[in-house]
Amino acid sequence: MKTQPERLRTRDRAELVFSLKSPSDQPLGELLAHHGRKFHIVIVSKTMDVLGHIHPEDFDDEVDGETTKAFFTFPQPGDYLVAVDFMTEEGAQNKQFMVEVKGAANPTRTEAPSSILSVRLEEEDRYVEAASFSATPEAQDYAVSVQQPDEIKAGEAASFAYRVMKGGEPLTDLRPYLEAPLHLAVVKDDLTIFLHTHGTLPDASGVGHGDAHHGHASGKADMETFGPEIAATVTFPKPGTYYLFAQAAHGEQLLISRVPVHVADK
């Protein structure tokens, strides 16, 4: 990945240019569409205060298997993780990059609390702006609760149950966002570990069904509307503090929630 400009500053629109090569240094060729896009880019600040989930197609750019690009405006200074994932005939591929953004002052790093934002989706589920938990007003009518195990251990699958409410009432008309009930970005607080997985719809027994991981099956929600519960399963590779950034769609609104999770050693 290269950026233009090379030295990034807050509030300047940055161009992120990706060169796609095989292990033999050849262009990758045609990428496969998965979850509504060919190339997913997730951007997270080290403060856990900023989230971006963008795609070259959102800017009408071609993903030709050799190069592709997208644009992003970093709202605050500091370190950011830029994680990409895509699909080839060989399976799911991913890569992470670190960038530093200069600005007037670096924000203070504290443990970020649980929070939820609501932003308006554009045509074809496009949302190309940064979601800032310190600058974007919280979603006043929406609420997301997350049921999680009493203890989460590294290397063991942990189940989470999301419940979405509006005005104190359960929402039963959520819809798929980018062909999944829930997109879930899992980030370790030092930005050294990143996972992009998906939620599933619970069956009558309360157990999630359907594909929950990037790059295996379609992961589509198997009904047009659903809710209020969405299941998710995550295996955290190492102990520490992680943040779960979840994205779900309700009509034209994209609901973005942030939940801190503490993972113990085995």
Contacts of 130 (CB under 8 A, 6+ apart): 43, 50, 51, 52, 72, 73, 74, 75
* Distances from the Cα of 123 to the Cα of 11, 128, 252, angstroms: 24, 11, 9
Domain spanning 2-102, CATH architecture: Sandwich (2.60)
Residue 87 has pLDDT above 70, yes or no: yes
Q: What is the CATH number of domain 115-263?
A: 2.60.40.10
Same fold, 2-102 and 115-263: yes
Q: Are 117 and 255 in contact (CB under 8 A)?
A: yes
pLDDT digits (tens, 9 = 90+) for 99-126: 999 997 766 656 677 799 999 999 999 9
Residue-range domain boundaries for the chain: 2-102, 115-263
Q: How far is CA 138 from the centre of its chain?
A: 18
Kindly report, residue by residue over 232-263, the tens digit of the pLDDT. 999 999 999 999 999 999 999 999 999 999 99
DSSP code string of 191-259: SS-EEEEEEBEE-TTS-EES--BTTSS----SSSSB-SEEEEEEE-SSSEEEEEEEEEEETTEEEEEEE
Whether residue 212 is predicted with pLDDT greater than 50 in this model: the reply is: no
Instruction: Specify the pTM.
Output: 0.90
